[in-house]
Amino acid sequence: MEHDFVPTRQAGLDRLYAFAPDAGARYAAQRNFDSPEGVSQLSPYLRHRLLTEPEVIAAVRDIHGERDAEKFIQEVVWRSYFKGWLELRPSVWADYRLGLKAARDRIATEGGLRKGWEQACAGATGIDCFDHWARQLTGTGWLHNHARMWFASIWIFTLRLPWELGADFFLRHLLDGDPASNTCSWRWVGGLHTRGKHYVARAENIRRYTGGRFDPKGQLNETPDPLDGPPLPETRTLPDTPAPEPGLRTGLLLVEDDLTPDLPARDFAATATLSGAAHRSPLKVAPGVLDFTDAALADARDRLAPDATPLLDADALATWARENALEQIVTPYTPTGPARDLLEGSGLPVVPVLRDWDRAAWPHATAGFFKVKKQIPKLLSAV
């Protein structure tokens, strides 16, 4: 499959049905190779919930069964793990944003660091594999997961650039740029997610899983120490999500994090969509990311509420709520990230509705993936 990410639910379903026959043994054997042919490329659709985790898993399980589709199912559940992990520790997102500000201050004053950052973003480091992935990312908005891991490791340990700048580079350019998956993955590579355990890109591994296209022998730091950082914050419990109050004038707000909502039937006085894509970074977000998000929101309006008002920021949201005299705003639960920041900053009476899948998975993301992995049979019993 090519990188033709059409931002509609139907395009996501078409891609899912085309991939599902290969999601068993073939996926397990080929998933680590840096080729789009061995993986689903469903991440942009899952990130915006144009497709949902249960329906993707169900489509694959119906063909292969749970055992043969185990590797693919686990990959889908990793996304839920990272979502839950950050939701239980939202201060990690705030700390990342503060770290990014500090790193940006450094590149404004340290010429050598700025040059290294610019070369890395432009794909001009002289490390062929890294430069190829940088150009692929900025050109297509997508990278294979293994390439993302190699890239992050080289960024942190070989180029010695602040990890927050790398995470920001990804978040600005990935069509599937997800605050939880992206932040946690970069922290995991650096050794901050599971303290003391880092991911080291090795030339032989890159040579093997790129089919010999790249062999950066002698160019990589293959014996780095993990990054050091403050202790992890204590986990919180998930916030209460009370049902909407009956009898109040109610609006419906769709945010890019969930564009196939599972909401109770209700008459809404007004409906709107809100994009947080431009707020992913203090730097310029790639036009392809903004276009994909805008088109995905337009698809949601076409499917669910053709008269919905498109909104771009908190001021527009406040104006919409005021003009429609809304007493509460129902929205699919918006997890930690830029869109949540917009909602919380608005001061409006937002009523989030948490999906059953998230309610079942997220509370187990208190440590490593294993605790969530143990819950997979229970999660699948409800699919």
Known binding residues for FAD = 27, 72, 75-82, 176-178
What type of residue sits at position 112?
Answer: G
Which residues make beta-bridge pairs with 331?
352
CA atoms within 13 A on the CB side of 380: 22
Other CB atoms within 10 A of residue 37 CB: 11
Rounded Cα–Cα distance for residues 131 and 138 (Å): 11
Which of 274, 280, 309, 314 minimizes the C-alpha distance to 294?
Answer: 274
Q: What distances in angstroms separate CA 278 from CA 76, 299, 352, one per listed residue?
A: 26, 19, 22
Q: What distances in angstroms separate CA 355 from CA 54, 80, 263, 331, one per listed residue?
A: 11, 12, 9, 11
For the annotated binding site, the residues are 27, 72, 75-82, 176-178
* 185 token code pair: 């993955």
Rounded Cα–Cα distance for residues 134 and 143 (Å): 9
